[in-house]
Structure 1
Amino acid sequence: MPLSFSGKLYRALNPIYAREPLSGRGAELYGGRFNPKGMQALYASLSIMTALREANQVGNLQPTTLVSYDAEIDRVLDGREASELAAFGMDAAALAASTWRDEMKAHGEARTQAFARQATAAGYHALLVRSFAPGATDDDFNLVLWQWGDKAPSRLNLIDDEHRLSRLP
């Protein structure tokens, strides 16, 4: 049964992309764990620390622009529920598999990417899933958005009351 999410979400962006904090273009161009190439996705976290872990998974902490959103997302697939995953032929171990990039290179699409395509075709707007970033705990979660905009049922508003991002060079 789909969930609804209402609350704050966070992303830690490479400063090069800070002018487009609502874009899923990078994920669309390169593919991600939960989106094949050609499919936009916006990877957000439920906590600031999870967002930082997600953005800096390799090596040392690099310059990062932290943004937050106010979100109200309907039709969220609960990646914590085995029965929800099983409906798409997926399980927790497959979600966590670190081989998704290798699968994508070898087959054109990783199993988790095919799962994302199936979930969006079934009308899901997002996936609530545990973070697999180094140092993440069982309490660190991400919300992977496949559909978002400024209105329901997938409302995502950037919090930038002082218009700081618009003043970037």
Structure 2
Amino acid sequence: MPEPVDAETVILWRAYVPRWSYLPLSGEGAARFGGRWNPVGVPTIYAARELSTAWAEYNQGFVQHPALIAQLELTGARLADLTDPAVLQAWGLDESVHRSEWRSDLDNGVVPATHLAYQRLLGGGFHGVIYPSFMSPGGSCVALWRWNGPEAPKLRIVDPDGRLPASPASWRKP
């Protein structure tokens, strides 16, 4: 079986809604709504391995919404590199998993192929996956299911000057 990506430090980029600037390491939005690589109820951090990919994935090709883009450092993660055909094959997957219509599947009461893969990979000891970007050809993304807990990889925001707020108090009421 191919070895997982277990790099000492992986640099990631996360574009997210500025309203949540004080929670840069929360995966609660993904937990609330579900995502390509996580069912509803599973906190997940979605980030990109390239800055331009983070922007493209955030906007999904639609209107250019305001975003906060932050750099993250991930250490000690066991990631299944699903951009590698050998890893896909080892886990009983093929390239079609990257084109699955997961939202449509959910709407039709079908468990998406990516959610089934999540269950197998999590059970196999992975903390997340590397997958090709849909919105930025040649780019890649990470979906991280476990971080900053006991026996979990460490994820930290790069904020050397402490510019991110610590609470929602910096936001005015609409």
| TM-score (norm. length: structure 2) | 0.86
Check if 1:71 corresponds to 2:74: yes
Partner of 1:23: 26
Which runs of no fewer than 5 residues in structure 1 stay unpaired? none
- SS for the counterpart of 1:32 is coil
Out of 121, 125, 129, which is 2:123 matched to? 121
Aligned to 1:132: 134
1:32 matched to 2:31? The reply is: no
Partner of 2:146: 147
Task: Report the equivalent of 2:156.
Answer: 157
Query: Given that residues 126 and 147 in structure 1 are in contact (C-alpha distance below 8 angstroms), is that contact kept between their aligned partners in structure 2?
Result: yes
Cα 1:47–1:152 shift into 2, 3 Å: farther
**2 CA distance for matches of 1:89 and 1:48?**
31
CA apart distance, 1:82: 2.2
Deviations 1:43-100 (A, max 9, x none): 0111110000010014221111111112213321010222322333321122222x11
Deviation for aligned residue 1:159: 0.8
| CA distance in 2: counterparts of 1:53 and 1:89, whole angstroms | 29
Instruction: Tell me the distance in 2 between the aligned counterparts of 1:151 and 1:122.
Output: 17
The number of aligned residues is: 165
State the structure with more CA Rg.
Answer: 2
**Partners of 2:146 and 2:152 within 8 A in 1:** no
SS in 1 for 2:137: coil
CA distance in 2, matches of 1:160, 1:150: 21
Moved over 3 A (4+): 150-153
Q: Is the 8 A contact 2:105 2:112 kept in 1?
A: yes
Report if aligned partners of 1:56, 1:62 keep a CA contact under 8 Å in 2.
yes
Query: Would the aligned equivalents of 1:28 and 1:35 in 2 still touch at CA under 8 Å?
Result: yes
Could you tell me the TM-score, scaled by structure 1's length?
Answer: 0.89
Kept in 2: contact 1:73–1:126 (CA 8 A): no
Contact 2:21 2:165 in 1 (8 A): no
Q: Which moved more, 1:118-127 or 1:85-94?
A: 85-94
1:102-113 equivalences under 5 Å are 102-107=104-109, 109-113=111-115
Give the CA deviation at 1:17.
Answer: 1.8
Question: Structure 1 vs Structure 2: percent identity of aligned residues?
Answer: 27
The alpha carbon displacement at 1:24 in A equals: 0.5
Which whole-Å CA distance do the structure 1 matches of 2:31 and 2:72 have between them?
Answer: 20
Task: Tell me the equivalent position of 2:59.
Answer: 56
Match for residue 82 of structure 1? 85
Note if contact 1:72-1:153 (Cα within 8 Å) is conserved in structure 2.
no
